[in-house]
A and B are shown apart, each in its own frame.
Chain A
Amino acid sequence: MKKLIFSIFLLGCLLFVPAMVLGQRTISGKITDSETGEAMTGATVIVLDLFTGTYSDENGNYSIALPEGYNKIRVTYVGYADVEQAVGSSDELNFSIDPGTTLDEVMVIGYGTVKKEDATGAIQTVGEKFFNQGAITGPQELLAGKIAGVQIVQGGDPGGGASIRIRGGSSLSASNDPLIVIDGVPVSNSDIAGARNPLNIVNPNDIETFTVLKDASATAIYGSRASNGVILITTKKGKLGKKISVSYNGNFAVSNASGKVDVLDATEYRTVIEEQFVEGHPARGLLGESNTDWQDQIYQTGIQNDHNVSIAGGIGIVPYRVSLGYTNKTGILKTDGFNRGTVAINLSPSFLNNRLRVNFNLKSNLTNNRFANRGAIGSAVFFDPTQPVMSGDEEFGGFFTWKQPDGRANPIATSNPLALLEFRDDRSNVTRHIVSGQIDYRFGFLPELRANLNLAYDVSNGNGTIEVPDTAPFELGTYPGLKNAYAQKNENSLLEFYLNYAKKVSDFDIDVMAGYSWQHFLYADFNEGNDFNNASPVPLIEADTFTRENYLLSLFSRANITYKERFLLTVTYRRDYSSRFGEGNRAGNFPAAALGVKIIDDKEGSVNNVKLRLGYGITGQQDLDGNYYPFLARYQSSFDNARYLFGNEWVTTLRPNGYNASLRWEETATYNVGVDYGFLNNRITGSIEYYQRYTSNLLNFIPVPAGTNLSNAIDSNVGDLENKGLEFSVNAIAIDNREKNIFWEIGFNITRNVNEITKLTATEDPTYQGVPTGGISGGVGNNIQIHSVGFPASSFFVYEQVYDEADIPIEGLYVDRNGDGQVTPDDRYRFENPAPDVFLGLTSLFSYKDFDFSFAGRANFGNHMYNNMLSTAGNYNGLYYSSNYLNNIHADYASIDMSVPQYFSDHFVQDASFFRMDNITAAYNFRNLFEKKNNIRISVTAQNVFVITNYTGLDPEIFGGIDNNFYPRSRTILVGVNANF
């Protein structure tokens, strides 16, 4: 299929090869760097509005034919500002181009680029200069706190993933992840088995820019997967002409846990046990002699090495960039480790006088992981501090273990955290490759017309094994231990083709585009597992491969019309088809329109630019994580360990699965009003955005009327929710003193988002409380949050605590909120939610001569956290268990004074507003070492420097708002070297 379209495309090219050359003159000149005066080789020179072009040669000289009726020439060079000049009477025209931060000028948007000043949507770009500093493994870490409306919550483990939310979540059951497009390839959100973060495919050192598309007029071109925003990642490319440049970027970092859960030490613990239990009580007899801080035992100093080398230049007409990266991290939790090698190759040659451009990318990585047993985090909190790590006995590898009366390990007692780490060997290796090629052809006979073909293949393989030997004090039973293996192969194939026509007609600049996209996702998981000795007659995990796929087909188009370079109109339309829905419901239409008016557009003066933007559009959602055939009636076989006995035969059962034949697209309508501004020679720039997003036909896993389907809940289109918000961002060059060589730039953004569920059930039912969510530790199946109509998603659903005079909660006493004379579950109320009311990001870049100094921080206000560690660990009943073991309790136990956990008290929902200093970097630049252009930069960075918060738990920033067994974020010191030759 792909071959077919490719040959048709080539046929088309041959057909339209141009022939006509009429009255014309030849213009020539030289192109130089405005700062160094160096001749610029390989700069692109084009005749404006005609789009014919050439390159400057080794000496910076060019020569180009200028047909009659055309009079402007534009020179572009990556990393330099574009320059346009009118041709006068002379046939010679020289250009002096400015290196500088031109990245903001042209922005990558879906299927094309747009000049920043002509953008009509809520689009923001972050370039290398503003990236976060530090021990960074995943690309998303570069971006945290940099863009208004974008929230990135990073996990604590080495190389771990993050939760990314753009303008709140627009879905409940469907994915809330933004669409990530890497060099034009939309990648799947799905995890890869054995990988910590699928985005680790991109080495952060290879990234040139992030572009975030926030409103519907910008994202609707990606229709089907755009409801939660789009992040476009553009990687670095080679440059023609300039000398070969080699750069090395490396760092060495050490990390430590930024905190521990506050539990009793051995002495305090003994005292509490003696207070709570009388002489002779079995609890006293269980006390040990040691003094162990279990959390100190499980954490270690993590070490990171990171080395990246890139070579860029041009061979003949082929600009290239090749980069190699290697990262090795040990986690702060013992036995946790990550290492990764990456290769990225970019080739971007042009042919036929620049009419045919090819952009080829290959990205490969190989990751090895050892996953620490995270159960150790919780166990270390709870394990009796009076017990030793090692028992002195031979059994259980020598680790102290709680036992049953008959001497066997007690399966329900807390496991020795060190034994959990030591005995579980959980490793994986993951490879991922993305190959993509874009071919862009400008027709000779009709230079306004451009055809673009984008082919990509993204394949990943994850393989892993988990082993627990039969000597371990956990994974007990008749067939002890564990020997599991898993593998997953994900394939994502993409074919996109579009035609673009751009022409100036009197005062109108018209740019229209139409295209087609075909994408196929294929997943195959393999799992098998048994006990360590492979003795169980029916394996614990039957060897089985689970394969599934989905397709997305789209037709898309966009028109940009500019009138007098002042009034801008963008209209897009995308029609998507998803194989996740039945035949009548597959298609979704996603239109959008935006209007921009440059109210002030003045290069000089104090007010340089004010642009008003209005946008409206509809985007869709079909990503039902893991559910590929939700519309189809299917029967599913049982595993061999879930059969039923008829006589002497264990019969494999066949289950008809629940399905929803009428499932269709979830839709989000977005209204956006934005103002872009630039003051004081554009030293102060930024934008203000207001948006409203209305999601309807929510893809929602909800209860169906009993008896109407083959399960009690299925994926349905029921429910509405809305997000409203305000974003403000500013970038100010506070000091720009070239004489004294002082420069200071500040970036600041602040966002307010308000989320509310407006409908949840098919019928109006005022008594319906909502969908419980937010599972907590303590009890099984306890949920602390609820999705309710009229409230933000995941609001905490709790009882209102009554306090005594000393402000200590009275155990089990709650306010009878509905006044019916008794406290029942109906007295729970919705109290706050995990999302911040307001969040902001701040970045400062300061340089003085060869020194530079930067910092970046973030703050959240009004976000609330359920302190699950306090609610489970803060009670006396948690000290002793009648099945003969002891547990530690929270050091704040006296402040709540409870004997039984009161999970649903609002006492445990705490304000977790915070300011976090993400990173501070100081660096010195050795410039022009040995010879010109050899620069070395040496930097020191402190990461996660400090957190200011009133929250009493481990960390105020935990995605989902439930503080429980959290892998602590590390505090890191890093020394980095960056050298360019």
Chain B
Amino acid sequence: MKRISYILLMLLFVGMSAFLTSCFSDLDVVPLDDDEVTAATVYDDPGAYRQVLAKLYAGLSLSGQQGPAGQPDISGIDEGFSTYIRQYWKAQELTTDEAVIAWNDGNIQDYHQQDWDAQNEFIAAMYNRIFYQISLVNEFIRESTDEKVTERGIDAAGQAEIQIYRAEARFLRALSYYHALDMFRNVPFVTEDDKVGSFFPNQTNAADLFTYIESELKAVEGLMADPLSNEYGRADKAAAWMTLAKLYLNAEVYIGQDKNSDCVEYSKKVIDAGFVLDAEYANIFTADNHLSPEIIFPVVFDGINAKTYGGMTFVTHAAVGGSMNAGDFGLDGGWGGTRVTRAIVDKFPAAGDGRAMFYTDGQNLEIGDIAIFTEGYAVTKFTNVTSEGIPGSDLEFADTDFPMYRLADAYLMYAEAVLRGGGGGDLASAVGYMNDLQERAYGGSDGNITEADLTLDWIIDERARELMWECHRRTDLVRFGQYAETNYLWPWKGGVPEGVSTSAFYDVFPIPSTDIGANPNLIQNTGY
């Protein structure tokens, strides 16, 4: 009897321990949802590479995995604010003479006043977006090595395709590092060798970062698709060349070296790549601008398939207010935010230049109060109607793509680099390119210039006329020494109605305090 008891007792313990063991395996959870895949298995599907590449591009346009909001990529700021293009636009435009915004969101007014600090959430959002892109590219590069791809049994054709994806991913990383260099200079530096985890990246400097971006772009240009040969939405060689041209044009600012000849070389490559000026200037900024032959690298938006409160939804809506009829812009209603200062309006002649796309009805040219939309001219350049005048697919979310790079910019860079003494080009060609732009703008030769007219002063103003609101202005003003500490003033610069010079250190944004707090290797930029 006793023996049986012991046996039963033993069985009880064995049973209990078996039970406990089986319960402990419950702890090994994996996502139950079909929208989530573990990193360990995601790339078993050959189609996943293309989908991850699409995310790398979508990182420029959208705020997350759900449109228009719901599953944000980054945090610390309203999701609608958090998109790359919205922040890039604000950093490049609101801090200059090209735009003011009526709103009271956080520290946004500091942009126009040029008195931001390291706590500014808009600067932090821009920085976080840049490093979000870099981190995602690093992850993709790590996961798509030849070794891993072979191991997963992807066929030769698939592998060749993945090679191109990798080149485009590296281009996107170089593009974001270029933005980091331009806006922040001395940033933490990570590549695919830095795995996800807890570590403190080292801080790089402008010279090293410049060299890295240059070498990456040169390394991938040969691997990327030829100009105009890739699917719409994806970058090709010309996008890499444009980035190189910009890097070289601004080399004096970044590293104190003259690289104008290189700028001429790469601008020329772009010019000769087969892109043509859009016959109709306005059509570069419409809901169907994917048809424009001038755009070299677009960031794609869509009212149905790619919804966001940032990007072009912001750019189009914020510009509409006052007595403007939102329906004329393909919109459900305006957000009454952004206008232009008279510093820009004054750069246009009273008549003739079709690029002076201002709405003046009920708008004062002077800005007495930034918070009032009707003070300052409104800008009608970006719209959500097609070139045919038909509203976009949705009145709330714009179809318009953002022209990150377009041919006219290559013309202007060529001319400027030649003027700055860059070899390999000539003034006559430069004047020719400039007159191509003038003739389109004026619908004739009324605005044409001669070699004598082509000066650097003319170039900086022409860039404002041609490229207004296309995210070039801050970089251009810094390059021309007209941004912070300068006698070039515009209304409300420095927070006063007539404008005032600010300190030179504002030419570079501060490293956000969140990252200074998280990473002890970082030293704050001078002045902050």
Residues in A lying within 8 Å of B, measured CB to CB: 1, 4-5, 8, 11-12, 15, 404-406, 408, 410-412, 476-479, 516, 518, 520, 536-538, 544-551, 553, 577-579, 583, 586, 628-629, 632-656, 659-662, 701-713, 760-765, 767-769, 772, 778-783, 822, 824-826, 877, 881-884, 899-901, 903
Contact = CB atoms under 8 A, between A and B. Distances in A.
B51 interface: yes
Interface of B: 5, 8-9, 12, 15-16, 19-20, 22-24, 26-33, 35-40, 42, 48, 50-52, 54-55, 57-58, 61-62, 64-68, 70-71, 73-78, 80-81, 103-108, 110, 115, 117-121, 127-128, 131-132, 134-136, 138-139, 187-190, 194, 196-201, 231-234, 300, 302-308, 321-327, 332-336, 362, 369, 371-374, 391, 393-396, 513-520
A583 B24 CA distance: 11
Contacts of A404: 325-327, 333
Contacts of A640: 305
A883 B518 contact: no
Contacts of A644: 54-55, 57-58, 61-62, 233, 300, 306
A769 B513 contact: yes
B61 A553 contact: no
A564 B305 CA distance: 76
A654 B42 contact: yes
B300 A629 contact: no
Nearest to B12: A8
Contact of A406 (B64, B117, B325): B325
Nearest to B522: A705
B323 A642 contact: no
B333 A410 contact: yes
A53 B262 CA distance: 98
A710 to B, nearest CB: 6
Contacts of A711: 73-75, 132
A273 to B, nearest CB: 16
Contacts of B24: 553, 577
Contacts of B22: 1
Contact of A707 (B12, B190, B517): B190
A421 to B, nearest CB: 22
A769 B117 CA distance: 12
A641 B372 contact: no
B196 A633 contact: yes
Contacts of A825: 107, 110, 117, 119-120
A648 B302 CA distance: 13
A151 B325 CA distance: 52
8 contacts: A478-B303, A635-B52, A637-B36, A645-B233, A647-B232, A705-B518, A708-B190, A711-B132
B65 A633 contact: no
Contacts of A479: 394
Nearest to A412: B333
Nearest to A705: B519
Nearest to A553: B23
B35 A713 contact: no
Contact of A638 (B5, B66, B132): B66
Contacts of A660: 198
Given A634-B31, A707-B134, A712-B75, A405 B323 contact: yes
Prevailing SS type, chain B contact patch: loop
Q: Which 5 A-B pairs have the closest CB atoms?
A: A647-B231, A641-B67, A633-B39, A707-B190, A768-B517
A768 B516 contact: yes
Contacts of B194: 707-708
Given A479-B394, A547-B32, A645-B300, A713 B76 contact: yes
A767 B67 contact: no
A66 to B, nearest CB: 29
Nearest to A634: B36
Contacts of B369: 877, 899-900
Given A546-B35, A579-B26, A822-B115, A779 B55 contact: no
B186 to A, nearest CB: 12
Nearest to A643: B305
B161 to A, nearest CB: 12
Given A551-B26, A635-B36, A780-B105, A652 B54 contact: yes
B64 A642 contact: yes
B104 A641 contact: no
Given A702-B518, A712-B76, 20 more contacts: A1-B22, A15-B8, A406-B326, A476-B395, A478-B395, A635-B36, A638-B58, A641-B66, A653-B52, A654-B51, A656-B139, A703-B76, A765-B516, A778-B104, A780-B103, A780-B106, A782-B105, A824-B115, A825-B119, A883-B333
Given A650-B305, A779-B103, A826 B325 contact: no
Contacts of B16: 5, 8
Contacts of B515: 703, 705-706
B396 A655 contact: no
Given A412-B336, A781-B77, A781-B121, A652 B51 contact: yes
B65 A656 contact: no
A653 B54 contact: yes
Contacts of B8: 11, 15
Given A551-B27, A642-B67, A645-B232, A903 B50 contact: no
B65 A780 contact: no
B29 A901 contact: no
B319 to A, nearest CB: 13
B119 A653 contact: no
Contacts of B188: 705-707
Nearest to B401: A645
A275 B121 CA distance: 37
